[in-house]
Each structure stands twice: as C-alpha cells, then as structure tokens.
Amino acid sequence: MNRIRRLAATVAVGAVTIASLVAGGGAAAAAPTRWGPPELGPRVCSVLKYIKIPQQLIGLPTGGAAVESATWNAGGYCSVVGWIWPKNAGAPGMQFQVNLPKDWNGRALQFGGGGYDGSLVTGLGQYSAQPVGEPAPIDQGYVTLGSDGGHQGGPGFDGTFGLNDEALLNYGQQSVKKAHDAAMVLIAAAYWKKPSYFYFAGGSQGGHEALDAAARYPKDYDGVIANYPAYNVTMMHEGAVNFRDALYGNGGAGWLSPAKTKLITDTVYATCDGLDGADDQVISNVSGCNDAFDVTVLRCPSGADEGDSCLSDAQLASAVKIATDYDLGFEIAGNSVFAKSALFEGALYQGFAGFGTDPVPSNPIDGSEALQYIILDQTSKYIVTRDPSLDTMAFDPADWADRIQEVGKIMDVTDVSLEPFRARGGKILLTHGTADDFITPHNTIQYYERQVAAFGEEKLDSFLRFYEVPGWGHGQGPFNAKYDGLGTLTAWVEDDVAPTGLVAFDANEGANRSRPMCEYPSWPQYTGSGSIADAASFQCVTG
C-alpha cells in the first residue's frame, strides 16, 4: 500500500507540475530533474484515479474535475473516465474520457459528438469517416478523448438540457475546451509532457465542435476535421420553420409521405444520374441536375392528390419550398438565410431524416414527425422560449428574434473568425455530401463562401480545403464516403504537405468502389474509359 501511495504521489506531482507549466505556456520537459515519469502500465493507470483537477487548470469556469475510474486495457492503454463539475449549482456535470496508450506517438485526437450530445463519446472507435479496416486512432498511438458535451440526455433529440444556462454554454461551445484542458492534465500525469500536436475530428454536431475548436480555441489545436458540420445550430433549427410550413401548413395538405418522397427522388435520379457520364446511382453533376430536373412533371392532372404516382399542387408547392433558400427575416450570427434542401439534387429523405409518418405533428412530439420539425420543436421549447408547453405549430421566430440572436452567439460559429487559427498554422479539412438529407450541403457551401470572402481563395487554400462529395449523405447515403482524413491532416500540419489526390471509398455493403475527392466547386466526371468503380476513371471538373 505504501508503494502505491508513493507512486500515486509521484504521478500527482507530475500532473500538477507539468499541467501548471502547460497552462502557463512553459516548456514541456520542465519537470523536476530528479524525477522522471513512471512507465505507463497497469500500476500507473490504477493510480490515475486519485487525480483531482483544480479549476484553475481548466481555462473556462468550472468547479474543477475529478477522475472517477482508470482502467488498464489489454490493448495497451489506460482509459480514464472523469467528471468536470459545474460552476453553478443545479447545472449538470460533464463526463469525459481520455485514453492513454503505452506507446504514445506524441499526438492527441479529440472526438466530437452528435445531435444534442448527451452521451459519453469514448474516443475508442474510429473517427468520423475513417476508412473501414484502418486501425482506430488509439491503436495508432494517439491519446484519444471525448465527452458528453456537458449534460446527460435522453434518447433521440432531447433538448431539455437547454433549460440550464451552463449546460447550454457547454453544448454550444465550451465543452470542447473543458474536455481538452482536463485531458492535458491527464496527459501530463501519464507522460510528463504535453502533446506535440493536438487534433479534433467530428461530423455533424462533432463537425460543429471541430470548427469551434479552430475558431474559438485556436491556441489549443493544430488541425481539425469537420465533416458535414452543424456549425450554425440555431439557424439550422429555427430555420426549419420552412420545413414546418411546407409540410404541415394548411392542415398537412403539403405533407410528403415516404412514397411521395421516393417518387420525387426516383425521378431526380432517373433525370440526373447519368449527367456525370456514369450510371451509378450517384449524382455528381449537381449544377447540371438543377438545369435538367423539373418537378412539375410529377403533377397530378387534376391538381388534387390522386395517389402515390403523382403530386398534388399542395405537395408540389411543399417540395419547391423545401428546395428553396428561406430568409428568416433577421440575422443569426451574421446570416439570415436558411439554406435550401438538396431534395432535387440526390438527397433521399428516407428513414431517420425523412418527413415522418403522419401529416399532422403531435404536441408533445411522438417520433412520427419530420426530423426537421423535431429539432425545431426541441430547440424552440427548451432553448429559445424555455416553455415546454409551447405550441410549435404556432411559434413565430420573429417574435423571439432577440432571444434567438442571443442563442446564436452561443451555439453558432458562423461569424467567428478563423484568422487566429490560420496565423498559428492551423489546418482544416471541411467536407459535405451532396446527398445529405439532414444538414443540407448548401449550408456548408454558405460557410465556405463566407471564408472565401474573408480571406480570398489563395489565402484560404493555405489552411482550409473544402470537399463536396457526391452521393454522401449524413454519414450514410448512396455513396457512404470514407477517406484518410487524419493521415492527410497530419501530413499537412506536421510536414507542410498540402492535400492532393484524396480518394473516398464507398463503405456501403458490397459497393467496392471509389471516387476522387474534388475540391469545391469541382466534381468527379467519368472519363469514358476504365471501370466506374475506380476513382482513377474520373477527373475533377468545374462547370
């Protein structure tokens, strides 16, 4: 027992000494010279559970943190689970996990969450869009970490956490930094030095968190991967009134059933699939598709609903409204436009991201509603109005413009400058799929074009690359893209090798095909020779 206590004391001294130096920007190797870090293994792992993290080592307001458990795994790493305590009474704690490999490569990778967060991201699996069969980052020697985003939520899209100010701040932006800083203390305890490089990777809300990491905490991160990012949560959720009004206005006359939706998308693919030279159930030439597709060919002759083989006038109007930009009438984080859906460009809107199974929504929601209505409902009830009894069908965002703009300062990173991140040498891989039926690709195009306006294309290319991937949905889709994001990012950050020749692989079962990843606005066109399953048979073109 005395030996364990001595070991615990040694680890604790290392943690506090190095973490204090890290927080103050001191040298990574400035530990007391007569001590060295104990070799990381089962014994050192077991004593990490005694570590308590003072609040001054976390760069945002908290009540400090403490380790709950530390477990040595057969794979050769220590998994540490802990809690960051809230600053304010009544706020939830934030759970985090840090995984410390024995054979550390000197790098750390933080994983992002999803949806409203609310469940612990362990950091033990593959990162967002990592190629199938590639070793997980922890098995490559990365320290990995994640958190629950600052609260513990129920299943699905549970917005109740938004009733608490501190929980909302954590979800909107602060959980990223708090988990990072707690991890730095544990890294110091385990290795007595800080990482040479610190990265972030995520998709959807995790992509939002990746852009938060870059824009809000540029001193903490060297590179980020932001796949189909929900970077403007407030705009996305409140702008979804466009879906509400289209689908459920006029008593649900415009509601698009799964069969009606499939009629639209089947017609889109029949019209547009071959415009890139390959009939492969992937629409790559989106611009050409917009020119070629005419939804009015689906009109029922009478204009009334005549069944699943055509669209009524109300359903046609609904589809067109969804596929058109919607101006909310006031700005949220510098933008007033809710970007149009890709319904006429290859997005499928079936399954979890579909338009629901009932033409009239319930209050409270029961899961039969369109996904876009669900997020509008939860954010409007629990974050904007904080009125759980709110009738979302009668809700008018204009009546709550001031509060919505206040929330936008918390949850949206739209107008937060990337200049400090660029100036430090940070790099960003930004991606989105053309067939995303939850977060429209046009939302990320808005973000990218905003950056072009801020930096100019040449300067922007020096630290950010944007890839729009045909057929990729929201982590699924006709072309379920996987690519070597982490290898590409580390080469760019550490060796100044800019991305070139990236290839995406389709992870759908039995697909066995690849495509070149083209920098926006270019897209992959079939050359006319070679297999359409091979990326080498395509070239990136513009126009």
Residue-wise pLDDT tens digits, 127-157: 999 999 999 999 999 999 999 999 999 878 9
Q: Please spell the DSSP secondary structure of 39-85, one letter per residue.
A: PPSHHHHHHGGG-EE-GGGSSS--S-EEEEEEEEETTTEEEEEEEEP
Tokens of 196: 């040479």
For strand 427-433 and strand 335-338, is the pairing parallel, antiparallel, or unpaired? unpaired
CA distance linking residue 192 with residue 36, whole number of Å: 8
Helix (H, G, I), strand (E, B) or coil at 243: helix
CA distance linking residue 19 with residue 28, whole number of Å: 9
> Which residues touch 230 (CB under 8 Å, ≥6 apart)?
204, 205, 207, 208, 236, 439
Within 10 angstroms of residue 390's Cβ, the number of other Cβ atoms is: 17
pLDDT of res. 477:
97
CA distance linking residue 274 with residue 133, whole number of Å: 31
pLDDT in tens, 220-239: 999 999 999 999 999 999 99
Q: What percent of the chain has pLDDT over 90?
A: 92
The answer to whether 120 and 97 are in contact (CB under 8 A) is yes
Tokens of 334: 């510098």
| pLDDT category of residue 15 using cuts at 50, 70 and 90 | low
The answer to whether 151 and 117 are in contact (CB under 8 A) is yes
pLDDT of res. 2:
45
> Which residues touch 367 (CB under 8 Å, ≥6 apart)?
156, 374
Give me the count of residues in the chain: 543
Within 10 angstroms of residue 278's Cβ, the number of other Cβ atoms is: 21
Please count the CA atoms within 13 angstroms of the CA of 205 that sit on its side-chain side. Answer: 24
| Residue closest to 71 by CA, chosen among 101, 50, 97, 42 | 42
Backbone angles phi, psi at 118, to 5 degrees: 100, -5
pLDDT in tens, 385-441: 999 999 999 999 999 999 999 999 999 999 999 999 999 999 999 999 999 999 999
Residue 497 pLDDT > 70, yes or no? yes
Say which range, 7-11, 306-310, 379-383, 518-522, has the weakest mean pLDDT.
Answer: 7-11
The answer to whether 244 and 275 are in contact (CB under 8 A) is no
The answer to whether 249 and 150 are in contact (CB under 8 A) is no
Return the DSSP state at 161: G
- Cα distances from 190 to residues 37, 122, 200, 218, in angstroms, run 7, 18, 21, 25
- Check: pTM over 0.75? Answer yes or no: yes
Where is 523: in which H helix or E strand?
A: strand 523-526
| pLDDT category of residue 13 using cuts at 50, 70 and 90 | low
Helix (H, G, I), strand (E, B) or coil at 335: strand
CA distance linking residue 108 with residue 127, whole number of Å: 12
CA torsion sign, 150 to 156 to 157 to 161? negative
List active site positions: 204, 436, 474
The mean per-residue pLDDT over the stretch 271-290 comes to 98
The answer to whether 269 and 281 are in contact (CB under 8 A) is yes
Residue 10 pLDDT > 80, yes or no? no
The answer to whether 469 and 475 are in contact (CB under 8 A) is no
The mean per-residue pLDDT over the stretch 3-27 comes to 47
The answer to whether 48 and 69 are in contact (CB under 8 A) is no
State the Cα angle at 167 between 163 and 168, rounded to 5°: 70
Residue 28 pLDDT > 90, yes or no? no
CA distance linking residue 183 with residue 65, whole number of Å: 11
pLDDT of res. 21:
41
| Residue closest to 464 by CA, chosen among 432, 422, 433 | 422
The mean per-residue pLDDT over the stretch 462-485 comes to 98
For strand 107-111 and strand 197-203, is the pairing parallel, antiparallel, or unpaired? parallel
The mean per-residue pLDDT over the stretch 45-70 comes to 97
State the Cα angle at 340 between 434 and 358, rounded to 5°: 95
pLDDT of res. 154:
84
| Residue closest to 436 by CA, chosen among 189, 124, 204 | 204
> Which residues touch 436 (CB under 8 Å, ≥6 apart)?
228, 342, 347, 472, 473, 474, 477
What distance separates the 2 farthest-apart alpha carbons in the chain? Answer: 88
Residue 252 pLDDT > 60, yes or no? yes
Tokens of 458: 């040449």
Q: How far out from the chain centre does Cα 200 lie?
A: 11
The answer to whether 168 and 162 are in contact (CB under 8 A) is yes
pLDDT of res. 16:
53
Q: What's the whole-number average pLDDT of the chain?
A: 94
Q: How far out from the chain centre does Cα 87 lie?
A: 26
pLDDT of res. 5:
46
CA distance linking residue 236 with residue 440, whole number of Å: 9
